[in-house]
Structure 1
Amino acid sequence: MTQNQRSATSLRMKQMIEELSNIARKAGAAIMEVRRKGFDVYNKDDKSPVTAADIASNKIITEHLAKLYPEIPVLSEEGIKIPYDERKYWKEFFLVDPLDGTKEFIKDNGEFCVCIAFMRNNRPVLGVVYAPTQDALYSGSIETGAKVSKNGKKSVSISTAPPVEGEGQIIVGSRSHPSPKLEEYLSDINVAQMKPAGSAIKFCLVAEGKAHLYPRFNPTMEWDTAAGQAILEAAGGTMRGLDGEEFPYNKKNLRNDGFIVKA
């Protein structure tokens, strides 16, 4: 890639981060409005919960993406299910979870977020995660690095912080999806602290140096991990499958196996 091509790519990523950040904030505001008014909980065909907040957020995100990027398809948890025979040819697409952490939203513990990832060649190359109860907006791409904006303030750069030898590791794990395999995995690790959290916020805690390790053994879906992975990798971290290989996306079955996130 030439210097001009790198500059053009970086400029595109910066513009996309700004636009996706604005969309995520609008979606977050819609979620908070539903939260304020109250809501019913329904079960989808797969028995997972859905609320009016999921639907409202999805509507805002997909409509804005269609206006800004009509040439780029969108794969969303709450969107139209797109056949693999169609999407397997996509070179670029947006992967969206309009309300990641629906169970946390229902519990009203504040640990939910909006996730939007830009995918290229089935890799998450840019991500935006917005946690509306904290007014915390995380974003990142390899070209621009990782940043966070809290309480509407100017974005600041963030990076992972590997554990100091001998001091133990801070482990972040799922609040609503504990796994018996986690205890076995951690048995050989010097654990200084266990930090439970909901949704893709776990990726962000590692990305900003507040945790060192996020092992996941229970299943997730691709839209649960893509934006967080993009931010994590932009901050200097790594995410691999349990087999140590690169984590796959745009699979025929969008269900994820386990993974290990490291600072």
Structure 2
Amino acid sequence: MATMGIRLRVAVFGLLMVGIIYYLYTGVISRRIATLRQRRTVDLRELLALSVEAAVRGGREVKRIREDNVLEEQSKGKTKEGASEKLTLGDMNSHKKMYYLIKNTFPYLQVNSEEHDNTREETAVWDHLIPADIQQIGDGKEVPAEDVTVWIDPLDATQEYTENLLKYVTTMVCVAVNGVPVIGVIHKPFTEYTAWAIVGWGSNVKARASYSEKSPQFIVSRSHAGKVNGFIQTAFGNNTVVHAAGGAGYKVLALLDPTDEKYEKADVYFHITYIKKWDICAGNAILKALGGHMTTLKGEEIDYSGSEANNGGVLASISVDHQSLLAKVRSAEKQLAEIK
């Protein structure tokens, strides 16, 4: 009996100690988790500098693969317009450079890329140096990491890339906070030109001195220029000039002050069908920083959280009455429905 009593007391003591240790351990863990959550913020100025670096590194791969002529071209299927959706080694190598640089620097950020792969590039690191032009925008701003979504397009205008129409090709990074685009980077790898902006602080690009209000020129996708041209001329007049071009990034740059080369200049970027958010987020942020607009064809702001799809089309402009543009689009709504 004495032995049983001792054993019982030992067992009770043991359970008590386990309980105390568990309580202390879980308390420590909880405090550590809370501390980590408090620390999980990101500086937007740092994230802008990282985004520029990611776009440039991805662009180097895009350029190298094209110059070495080792595209390893494949088809991912058909686009909504029925065109072949290309995939190349340039897309994939650029994705790895961009995606893992951002994820290795800020592993707790949500990063959405057009491409996916099953390998990791552990060596992608960033030195945290802020370029002088980005330093000049002022002190950074901390935002909760859980509010941030990063959208990357490792190679915009892949079709044109395979056709060697290299002026259309860009790599892009966008940072959205609570679904609102605040950082945009568009990099042209074949001319090594980079446009960037951060809403509320500044940019290294600017709007043109003037835009045509009465007879704006439009820029649209090469893949469905014929259908869109008819709709635009119905909505805006038979003499409306429509430029067809590749790449959403290129089309946004066509609205800005001339950059590194001669290219189509437009007053309005118009897209009538489904488009992915990594195609348009960076351009949206840049336009927003310059006082411009990018909305759906119904005038809705595009939410850059959640799903990758934007089904509402795109209407983008700077220093042109955006509401007037939307009104003309709505007046041609019946024909728009027939086109779709």
* Fold shared by both chains (TM-score > 0.5): yes
Query: How many Å separate the matches in 1 of 2:161 and 2:45?
Result: 30
Query: How many Å separate the matches in 1 of 2:241 and 2:192?
Result: 25
Query: How many Å separate the matches in 2 of 1:231 and 1:77?
Result: 20
Match of 2:183 in 1: 126
Residue 121 of structure 1 aligns to which amino acid in structure 2?
N
* Structure 1 residues 75 and 123, CA gap change in structure 2 (3 angstroms): same
Deviation at 1:206, TM superposition (A): 1.2
Which of 167, 173, 183 pairs up with 2:220? 173
Determine helix, strand or coil for the equivalent of 2:255.
helix
The one-character-per-residue Cα deviations of 1:66-121 (angstroms, maximum 9, x if unpaired) are: 2222221211010269xxxxxxx952121111001100101111111101111111
Are 1:99 and 2:155 an aligned pair? Answer: yes
Determine helix, strand or coil for the equivalent of 1:56.
helix
Aligned Cα root-mean-square deviation (Å): 2.6
- Counting aligned pairs with the same residue, the percent is 24
- Rg larger in structure: 2
Farther off after superposition, 196-205 or 249-258: 249-258
Match of 1:55 in 2: 92
Residue 287 of structure 2 aligns to which amino acid in structure 1?
L
The one-character-per-residue Cα deviations of 1:192-227 (angstroms, maximum 9, x if unpaired) are: 643332111111221337421111102211111111
Aligned length: 236
Are 1:183 and 2:220 an aligned pair? Answer: no
The higher relative CO (CA closer than 8 Å, separation ≥ 6) is in 1
Query: How many Å separate the matches in 2 of 1:242 and 1:250?
Result: 19
* Native 8 Å contact 1:54 1:98 kept in 2: yes
Match of 1:230 in 2: 285
Which of 24, 29, 32 pairs up with 2:63? 32
Query: How many Å separate the matches in 2 of 1:70 and 1:48?
Result: 30
Match of 2:125 in 1: none
Query: How many Å separate the matches in 2 of 1:160 and 1:13?
Result: 27
Deviation at 1:16, TM superposition (A): 2.5
Give matches, 1:8-19, under 5 Å. Answer: 12-19=43-50
* Native 8 Å contact 1:160 1:207 kept in 2: yes
Are 1:198 and 2:198 an aligned pair? Answer: no
Residue 257 of structure 1 aligns to which amino acid in structure 2?
G
Residue 180 of structure 1 aligns to which amino acid in structure 2?
K
* Native 8 Å contact 1:206 1:214 kept in 2: yes
Q: Greater helix percent: which structure? A: 2
Query: How many Å separate the matches in 2 of 1:182 and 1:90?
Result: 42
* Native 8 Å contact 2:277 2:308 kept in 1: no
Query: How many Å separate the matches in 2 of 1:45 and 1:171?
Result: 28
* Native 8 Å contact 2:212 2:267 kept in 1: no
Residue 185 of structure 1 aligns to which amino acid in structure 2?
I
Match of 2:103 in 1: 66
Structure 2: gaps spanning 5 or more residues: 1-41, 79-83, 119-144, 259-264, 319-340
